[in-house]
Amino acid sequence: MLNRRTLLGASAGAAALSFPVFAFGQAQATDKRLLVVILRGGMDGLSAVPAVGDPAFASLRGRLALPRTLALDDTFAMHPSLPKMHGLYRAGELLPIHACATAYRERSHFDAQNVLETGASAPFARTEGWLNKALGALPRARPEMGMALSAQAPLILRGATPVATWSPSGLPDVNADTMSRLLSLYEARDPALANALESAMSANTVAMESGADDMSGRAGRNIVPMAQIAARFLKDDSGPIAAVMETTGWDTHANQGVEQGALARNLTQLDSGLDAFKTEMGAEWRNTVVIIATEFGRTAAPNGAGGTDHGTGAVAFLAGGAVQGGRVLADWPGLSSGALYEGRDLRPTTDLRAVFKGVLADHMRISAAALERDAFPESASIRATRDLVRA
Amino acid sequence: MPDMHLAALAAHRFGFGPRPGELRLIAGDPRGWVKSQLGRQPTLPPAIAALPSAEEDLWAFGRWLVRRRMNGANAERVEDRAERQGITQDELRRLSIEDEFVENFRERVVRAITARIDAAIASEQPVHERLVHFWSNHFTVSTAKPAAIALPPSFEKDAIRPHVGGRFADMLMASTKHPGMIVYLDNWLSVGPNSQAAQNPRRARRVPGGGRASDINENLAREVLELHTLGVNGGYTQGDVQALAAIITGWTYERPRLRELVRENGGDRNGAALFEFDAAAHEPGPKTLLNRTYAQTGVAQGEAALGDLARHASTARFVATKLCRHYIADTPPAPAVARVERAFRDSDGDLRVIMETLVDSREAWETPFAKFKRPEEYAISLLRAANVRELPSNGSVAALTTMGQRPYAAPGPDGWADSAEAWLTADLVWKRLEFAQAYGERVGRADVDPVQLGEQCLGPLMSDETRTAIQRAESPAQGFALLFGAPEMQRR
């Protein structure tokens, strides 16, 4: 029997098994690339990017105030578990965005993630993701313009624009002939299954070439190999121009730790994942923007269990060779008790849609009209942030 | 007049697909076959009855923690090595508690997953088992949270199973009082700010890793409103979340004491028996939830509030919509939802009556293949079709994980998604086919012809194209793989 590698090797000359790249040859793909990393659960922004220069910071944070940080500017610093990202900041390739939020002002994960990913002003107002809509506004130069590094496309990538999905497998390799027979059966009976199978065959070609078939079962909690695969897909000549990765475990209600602990481990993962992605992108890093965002921030003060609860103002990051970084983007509201939102959360002063629109407009060159009409309807009053990327 | 078409629909849509030969038994009265399984089941499936009790699981967790602390020699060796490598005591302690605990309990969880699948594969009441899976997903307790890793199986056994076919209000109460839910959504850490415990912090409960809980935790209250009863658009506010959180402060469970653990005579009490109301942590005074004031004291306050939530009009609509989405279509037909919703209200949340109304709906028997089976359901239906009696031990649980749906491990308290959009993706379809092929080979026995097996599993639902593809297979193993991968087996 054939394994997947021989299947895909053999398929190079067989149109039935290979992706119909030729059909999309006319449209010229942009050389810009975008990776979106969603931190699910609500990252504690005041731990990741503490406002150590704010006079209220130390007393407000109490036992969660970091004794040692990596300096950014007079007001802000970074968690010691983010050394690589701190290096990017110093190289001008990282832009932390503080006190930011979606349009959502309550505290449900599911609602907040829904708003983060649909770009709408209220939860469950739309069923398609803003990245899917934005990619739909570009000339369709690739069979699948977007890709999810997960078994299912997250909401941000769902919609009419075809997207691919890929994740590592621990199951035995498949028989090429069986798959091609099933594809014929699906083509006759079930177009949705046919599209999915065809797309999976194509994604596996790229993954095989990057040696990803060796990762079975090891992906687990380590985002480094996934970040490397994401880079391989984004670099591939017929691959997606935007990809989405997700990490979980940011919902630190109890015992989140300070310099060490659950949150620090998550930050270390994020830091090494981004570093591995940069290395793997190589020369293409200069054409790349990485958006790292979470659904909401957490309460400014610790709770009674050594953790933080669902809050509002959050931290996001832009990273990449195309990013005009080396500064913190924040209209800082302050942490005095009068400044806090509802007396408990960091007050949001930057709308994340402004940041997303800025990246899509200036980096991906998506027209303002398409952004207002498709990706972020009803956001005309939220102006795209300029100067996020290098000219 | 036997109706094989309705029999196949009944078996796949309401059960886990037929075992060979079962369709003929159903065909005499497909609706009656479904309805006969909608009431409460007096006995547990043997695989489930054999699982450890909630108390035993909690004690195993407690003993393991104690053993770790007392294991001096080992601890010293590890600590020496840690010191040489510049790892702090604190770091070491946290790492080992989380990671080794998860490692230690993996085997226990795999046994419980196997029991759940075995019960579904072997069941002659597959409609009932499907309902158990539905409700266990509605009230999700997940191993994805390390502190709750031991608890989802006993939660399902104690809080869900006895009430499938019973009353929604009873299931809601049992769920909210079970240690599994209380740990999963942090209510054991919730302390009223004006309670005795908050006034005297030494009385407050210790939290993992040191320190003591001293504040209200809204997690359980929020999910009861958003996910278990009214639904996210059910008409409640953040103020209602806070009110319900205050109402259920003190709802916790009896945690084993060191002396009991040392004796090692494992407990056999279920989750309901372990519920404990800690008056010292309860926020005193009346509270107002959804414009109604609850003046009761103690545990009665929360019981009254949950009783009202279970009967709320939004709950009827939310549950009816979810049931119709699960059994009929991703976008459930409005008339069916309306009938089920009315049945919920008129029967005061009688789950048997509610399901009978759904089964009697015309829409439930139309549009075959409207639903794409979720991975766990798909795997179970293949194993039943293959006439397997037990989940093959070699890597099957890992296969379910790879297919995207490790049982008891839903990513969040909203449970597993229930629409094709979430599951019919390139990557997951590929993995289902890897599974189909692996099991096609495993069951490729000489005594059954794949076309015959297709007829036994699908009856008239099998398409001509699928039949032809199987007939043309180069080997029986490939024939089984094509049958298992066919659209008619992936959908229902």
**pLDDT tens sequence across B352-368:** 999 999 999 999 999 88
Average pLDDT score over residue span B429-456: 83
CB–CB contact A153 B425 (8 Å): yes
CB-nearest to B209 from A109, A167, A255 is A255
The three-state secondary structure class of A95 is: strand
Point out which residues pair with B289 in neighbouring strands: B292
Average pLDDT score over residue span B414-440: 91
In angstroms, rounded to a whole number, what is the distance separating the alpha carbons of residues B9 and B369?
9
CA angle A164, A187, A236 (to 5 degrees): 25
User: Taking the CB of residue B206, how many other CB atoms lie within 10 A of it?
Assistant: 11
> CA of A164: which chain B residue's CA is closest?
B426
CB–CB contact B425 A111 (8 Å): no
Task: Indicate whether B447 pLDDT > 80.
Answer: no
Tokens of B304: 């009254």
> CA of B146: which chain A residue's CA is closest?
A249
pLDDT of residue B265: 56
Burial of residue B89 (number of CB atoms within 10 Å: 0-12, 13-18, 19+): exposed
Q: Which amino acid is at B471?
A: Q
Chain A interface disruption, residue of B190, B376, B425, most A CBs within 10 A: B425
Average pLDDT score over residue span A223-241: 91
Task: Indicate whether A39 pLDDT > 90.
Answer: yes
In angstroms, rounded to a whole number, what is the distance separating the alpha carbons of residues A368 and A27?
21
Task: Indicate whether A215 pLDDT > 60.
Answer: no
Task: Indicate whether A2 pLDDT > 50.
Answer: no
Please report which helix (H) or strand (E) contains residue B434, including its range. helix B426-442
Task: Indicate whether A8 pLDDT > 70.
Answer: no
Complex ipTM? 0.87
CB–CB contact B207 A306 (8 Å): yes
Q: CB-based contact (8 Å) between A17 and chain B?
A: no
In angstroms, rounded to a whole number, what is the distance separating the alpha carbons of residues B204 and A185?
63
Task: Indicate whether A19 pLDDT > 70.
Answer: no
Average pLDDT score over residue span B228-242: 95
B225 versus A40: the higher-pLDDT residue is B225
Tokens of B18: 């037929």
Supply the mean pLDDT for chain B. Answer: 88
User: Taking the CB of residue A216, how many other CB atoms lie within 10 A of it?
Assistant: 14
The three-state secondary structure class of A267 is: helix
Average pLDDT score over residue span B378-398: 86
pLDDT of residue A327: 98
Task: Indicate whether A333 pLDDT > 80.
Answer: yes
In angstroms, rounded to a whole number, what is the distance separating the alpha carbons of residues B430 and B21?
30
Tokens of B315: 């709950």
Mark B439-463 as b/e (b = at least 16 C-beta within 10 Å).
bbbbbbeeebebbebbbbbbbebbb
In angstroms, rounded to a whole number, what is the distance separating the alpha carbons of residues B52 and B271?
11
Contacts of B466 in chain A (CB under 8 A): 185, 189
Point out which residues pair with B277 in neighbouring strands: B251
Give the whole-number percent of chain A exceeding pLDDT 90: 65
Task: Indicate whether A70 pLDDT > 60.
Answer: yes
Most confident of A216-220, A285-289, B67-71: A285-289
Task: Indicate whether A344 pLDDT > 90.
Answer: yes
pLDDT band at A9 (very low <50, low <70, confident <90, very high): very low
In angstroms, rounded to a whole number, what is the distance separating the alpha carbons of residues A330 and A49?
11
From the list A212, A243, A242, the residue with the least C-alpha distance to A8 is A212
CB–CB contact A255 B208 (8 Å): yes
pLDDT band at B77 (very low <50, low <70, confident <90, very high): low
B392 versus B162: the higher-pLDDT residue is B162
pLDDT band at B1 (very low <50, low <70, confident <90, very high): confident
pLDDT band at A15 (very low <50, low <70, confident <90, very high): very low
pLDDT digits (tens, 9 = 90+) for B78-93: 566 666 666 666 655 5
pLDDT of residue B168: 98
Task: Indicate whether A22 pLDDT > 50.
Answer: no
In angstroms, rounded to a whole number, what is the distance separating the alpha carbons of residues B142 and B415?
8
Residues 6 or more apart whose CB falls under 8 angstroms from that of A30 comprise: A138, A141, A241, A364, A365
Task: Indicate whether B351 pLDDT > 90.
Answer: yes
Tokens of A137: 């506004």
In angstroms, rounded to a whole number, what is the distance separating the alpha carbons of residues B405 and B388?
20
pLDDT band at B391 (very low <50, low <70, confident <90, very high): confident
Task: Indicate whether B207 pLDDT > 60.
Answer: no
Task: Indicate whether A168 pLDDT > 80.
Answer: no
CB–CB contact A304 B215 (8 Å): yes
In angstroms, rounded to a whole number, what is the distance separating the alpha carbons of residues B311 and B308?
5
pLDDT of residue A23: 43
Task: Indicate whether A245 pLDDT > 90.
Answer: yes
Written as one string, the DSSP assignment of B366-393 is: SSTT-SBPPHHHHHHHHHHHTT-SS--T
In angstroms, rounded to a whole number, what is the distance separating the alpha carbons of residues B255 and A360?
53
pLDDT band at B63 (very low <50, low <70, confident <90, very high): low
Most confident of A11-20, A141-150, A173-182, B29-38: B29-38
Average pLDDT score over residue span A267-286: 96
Give the whole-number percent of chain B exceeding pLDDT 90: 67
Supply the mean pLDDT for chain A. Answer: 87
pLDDT band at A14 (very low <50, low <70, confident <90, very high): very low
Please report which helix (H) or strand (E) contains residue B455, including its range. helix B450-458
Task: Indicate whether B222 pLDDT > 80.
Answer: yes
Residues 102-121 of A with CB under 8 A from B: 106-111
pLDDT of residue A3: 35
Q: CB-based contact (8 Å) between A170 and chain B?
A: yes
pLDDT digits (tens, 9 = 90+) for B272-326: 999 999 999 999 999 999 999 999 999 999 999 999 999 999 999 999 999 999 9
Residues 310-339 of A with CB under 8 A from B: 310
From the list B65, B488, B39, the residue with the least C-alpha distance to B255 is B65
Long-range CB contacts (within 8 A, 24+) of A383-387: A383/A354, A383/A357, A384/A354, A384/A357, A384/A358, A384/A360, A385/A329, A385/A350, A385/A354, A385/A355, A385/A357, A385/A358, A386/A358, A386/A362, A387/A324, A387/A362
pLDDT digits (tens, 9 = 90+) for B4-52: 999 999 999 999 999 989 999 999 999 999 999 999 998 999 999 999 8
Long-range CB contacts (within 8 A, 24+) of A64-70: A64/A256, A64/A258, A64/A302, A64/A306, A64/A308, A65/A258, A66/A258, A66/A259, A67/A258, A67/A259, A68/A259
> CA of A179: which chain B residue's CA is closest?
B433
Most confident of A50-59, A149-158, B265-274: A50-59
Q: What are phi and psi of B192, to 5 degrees?
A: -65, 135
Q: Structure pTM?
A: 0.71
Query: Which range, of B98-112, B199-213, B324-338, B453-467, averages the lowest pLDDT?
Result: B199-213
Give the whole-number percent of chain A exceeding pLDDT 70: 89
Chain A interface disruption, residue of B96, B330, B427, B488, most A CBs within 10 A: B427
From the list B412, B414, B400, B426, the residue with the least C-alpha distance to A148 is B426
Please report which helix (H) or strand (E) contains residue A142, including its range. none
Q: Which amino acid is at A338?
A: G
Task: Indicate whether A7 pLDDT > 70.
Answer: no
Task: Indicate whether A20 pLDDT > 50.
Answer: no
Domain A33-172+220-375 listed as CATH 3.40.720.10: yes
A253 versus A137: the higher-pLDDT residue is A137
pLDDT digits (tens, 9 = 90+) for B112-121: 999 999 999 9
Q: CB-based contact (8 Å) between A200 and chain B?
A: yes
Please report which helix (H) or strand (E) contains residue B149, including its range. none
Distance from CA of B252 to the nearest CA of A (A): 16
Residues 30-89 of A with CB under 8 A from B: none
CB–CB contact A179 B213 (8 Å): no
CB–CB contact B204 A200 (8 Å): no
Written as one string, the DSSP assignment of B17-28 is: -PPTTHHHHHTT
In angstroms, rounded to a whole number, what is the distance separating the alpha carbons of residues A68 and A65?
9
Tokens of B118: 């075995």
CB-nearest to B421 from A106, A150, A158 is A158
Task: Indicate whether A156 pLDDT > 90.
Answer: yes
pLDDT of residue B375: 97
Q: CB-based contact (8 Å) between A22 and chain B?
A: no
Distance from CA of B208 to the nearest CA of A (A): 7
Task: Indicate whether A16 pLDDT > 60.
Answer: no
pLDDT band at B132 (very low <50, low <70, confident <90, very high): very high
> CA of A306: which chain B residue's CA is closest?
B211
Report the relative pairing of strands A350-351 and A314-319 from DSSP bridges. unpaired
- Enter the DSSP assignment of A121: S
Distance from CA of B35 to the nearest CA of A (A): 31
Residues 6 or more apart whose CB falls under 8 angstroms from that of A80 comprise: A66, A68, A69, A70, A259, A264
Q: CB-based contact (8 Å) between A153 and chain B?
A: yes
Contacts of A186 in chain B (CB under 8 A): 487
